[in-house]
Amino acid sequence: MPTDVYEQPTARHLLLDDHVRLLRLFEDVLERFRADDREQTRAAWAMFERSLFAHLEAEEHELLPAFRKVDPDEAQALYADHGRFRKTIEELAISVELHSIRADAAGMFVQTLKEHSHREDRGMYAWAEATLDESSYRHLHDRLCPSDDPRGRPAGTHGTMTSG
């Protein structure tokens, strides 16, 4: 008799799916801003900010220290990108609070996130997929998808149900 078996996503897919989720959360901020709903804009921003920082911290704690041993220059460039994201988030947070997000600033931020995602996928994520052991994968997964987080698994997760 067939049973449903969940195939967990690879580390690469887990990380890329989280990027998709982050972009959706940021789009939600912009939609609420355009609707002139200040309270919901702040709430959506808080979720986005918390999620982005969790993603950056997951990479910085679970991937970048080991990746630095393999490709120190690329790891340093990714750390630098993360620092720029944190600074941009501080600036955008002020715009959210003042309800004055500029479309060009938001668009540039989204473009920068997408470029960073492609860069990570070509380097660190490919490395992670090939080298992470089960324990490291679990730590990464738990940071991105804590069981007490109402977000659950990242949206669009590549994990699938199959009949077995």
* Sole residue written with tokens 């195939």: 7
SS (H, E, C) 24-75: HHHHHHHHHHHCCCHHHHHHHHHHHHHHHHHHHHHHHHHCHHHHHHHCHHHH
CATH (domain of 59): 1.20.120.520
- Rounded CA gap, 135 and 23, in Å? 28
Does residue 161 fall inside a structural domain? no
pLDDT tens digit string along 31-87? Answer: 999 999 999 999 999 999 999 999 999 999 999 999 999 999 999 999 999 999 999
Does residue 56 fall inside a structural domain? yes
Does residue 105 fall inside a structural domain? yes
Report how far apart, in Å, the C-alpha atoms of 24 and of each of 19, 30, 65, 81, 164 are: 9, 10, 28, 20, 33
Q: What is the pTM of this model?
A: 0.84
